[in-house]
A and B are shown apart, each in its own frame.
Chain A
Amino acid sequence: MDKPLLQVRNLCKSFGAMAVSAGIQLSVMPAEAHAIIGPNGAGKTTLLAQIAGELRPDSGSIVFAGKDITRMAVHKRSRLGISRSFQITSIFNRLTALDNVSLAVQARTGHSFRFWQRARTIPTLREPAMAMLERFGLADRAEDVADSLSYGEQRQLELAMTLATEPKLLILDEPTAGMGVEESAHMVSMLRSLKGKQTLLLVEHDMDAVFALADRITVLVYGQVMATGGPDEIRSNPRVRDAYLGCEETSGVVHAA
């Protein structure tokens, strides 16, 4: 098999006395869909923030596509091919849906120290952006301000922007968070369509979504990896069952409140 696209070694990060990452090991193979699960406060979002570069780890290393990116700035990691969506939707609220995605396309196509040509008339920006909106069923909302989209549509828009940067590694922080049943199912089927083509690292609370999407699952508890393996392995791991999946049989969804 290939070398891992992302390799996290011994990652440690503390806020004061609290260790949010306590020696995390993680590797994500190319074209793999890798899910991170764990109870609230397990350090999932902080792990993603360190991989994306918003937080600096105290120690340990992060290697992406053969490059050590442990101390690299956010925008440089993005240029290398790490793109992410946020737990709390992060879009340009007062720009139109099309402008949102166009900006993402523009960010991919080199520097923007171009002062003369009207950005909204450049086909190489607008056409890929429009195609991306179509893919997400948002084409008829293209000229609407992002603020006016429904919550589910905004989540879709953020994913569209993230994909428009053509990332090598797509990081998703709870892509179905706060969505209704139908919207959530739509998002999961959208993500399934990426499987095998797009390397995916996601944090998700909805266990149905996790088992529908993930090739491999890492269980994080108190900043440490409790187990890593395929969905069946994780499902049948007695420690994981005790610590985390225990209530799954009754509710179908694990959501530590």
Chain B
Amino acid sequence: MADLRLLDARGCALLLLLSVLAAVPLYGDPFTTRFFTRIMIYAILALSLDLILGYGGMASLGHAAFLGIGAYTVGILARYGIQSAIIAWPLAMAASMLVALFIGVVSLRTSGTYFIMITLAFAQMLYYFFVSLKGFGGSDGMPLPVRNTLGGIMDLGRHATFYYVVLLTMLAALGLSHRIVHSRFGMVIGGIRENEQRMRSLGIATFRYKLTCFVIAAALAGLAGALIANQILYVSPALLHWTRSGEILIMVVLGGMRSLVGPMLGAMALLIAEEVLSSMTEHWMILLGPLMIVVVLSGRTGIYGLLTKGSRSHG
């Protein structure tokens, strides 16, 4: 039974998508390869927000801050001559985790609207911090000379190579998140989302679980930041701007919260829509707005929900 279920419409669609992704650098032009690299980096980012928003029920409007921290870590290290990905990427994750630990300790004492406002406030504070960081480009940001090195094994400077590294990173992040949300830790996070008071009276110190979830999500977002810095070879405060946090939020909701794969599809859908619609009109958000409303009104299951529905009707 379980084996058969792998072959439902949803499974087929995802397998097809994965094959397409794997083939992009082989058949696509450099622009497409670069475009899909960007999509996959944002997929990691949306996936990480799903951990706190979808699974943890914590609506953060400051997630771009961790993207920015990760990117700046890579940028600043490069400035001081540290080019190795083996060193820079883990440090980008660690820096994001450290900042998340601090933000989380303060903001996770609140919930709902207050949590949204506090995470937004922290993210904007960090935005202006990097704007004022004149030594590292201030509001203009700073370019990176080259991509990080991978111990001489691979040349990340080649777009196709970098593409596959990002693809593998994305799959690893998905696999890891999948394990986490189904683990004992994930069950506790789900319980807190459903009924925090009940979790406490069952004997769970809910705060430290929420904080851990927040920090794990920040680590993945920081990794996405390290990748995006390598992708565009540029870091700037724009990476941390709150509108970007809003965009990530849209990706998660559009794709379907609490499904991991959904938000990744959401990232793809939003970036493709942006690419296609913005070539038609400058005000492409006017077209995207109604689409978002339809998705939200149709039961909050997003793109992924549509796929699941399809698989159900097929048996």
Contact = CB atoms under 8 A, between A and B. Distances in A.
A115 B179 contact: yes
Nearest to B216: A115
Interface stretch (B23-31, B203-211, B292-300): B203-211
Given A75-B205, A92-B195, A117 B200 contact: no
Given A90-B198, A92-B195, A108 B183 contact: no
A91 B184 contact: no
Interface string A62-78: 00000000000111101
Interface residues on B, range: 20 to 34
Contacts of A32: none
A73 B207 CA distance: 12
B186 to A, nearest CB: 7
B203 A119 contact: no
Given A74-B201, A107-B202, A107-B203, A114 B184 contact: yes
A75 B187 contact: no
28 contacts: A73-B200, A74-B200, A74-B201, A76-B205, A78-B202, A78-B203, A83-B201, A83-B202, A83-B203, A84-B201, A90-B198, A91-B198, A92-B191, A92-B195, A92-B198, A93-B195, A95-B194, A103-B199, A107-B199, A108-B203, A113-B209, A115-B179, A115-B180, A118-B179, A118-B183, A119-B182, A125-B184, A161-B198
A102 interface: yes
B204 A75 contact: yes
A99 B183 CA distance: 12
B185 A112 contact: yes
A132 to B, nearest CB: 13
B48 to A, nearest CB: 15
Contact of A116 (B179, B195, B200, B203): B179
Interface of A: 52, 54, 73-76, 78-79, 83-84, 90-95, 99, 102-104, 106-108, 112-120, 122, 125, 161, 165
Name the 6 nearest CB pairs between A and B, nearest first: A78-B203, A107-B202, A92-B194, A74-B200, A112-B184, A114-B184
Interface in B150-200: 179-180, 182-188, 190-191, 194-195, 197-200
B124 interface: no
A232 to B, nearest CB: 34
B308 interface: no
The binding surface of chain B is classed by DSSP as helix
A122 to B, nearest CB: 8
Contacts of B182: 118-120
A73 B184 CA distance: 23
B149 interface: no
A78 B187 contact: no
B84 interface: no
A234 to B, nearest CB: 29
A95 B203 contact: no
Given A161-B202, A165-B203, A113 B212 contact: yes
A112 B187 contact: yes
Given A75-B204, A75-B205, A119 B187 contact: yes
A127 to B, nearest CB: 15
A99 B204 contact: no
Contact of B184 (A78, A84, A106, A161): A106
Contacts of A90: 195, 197-198, 201
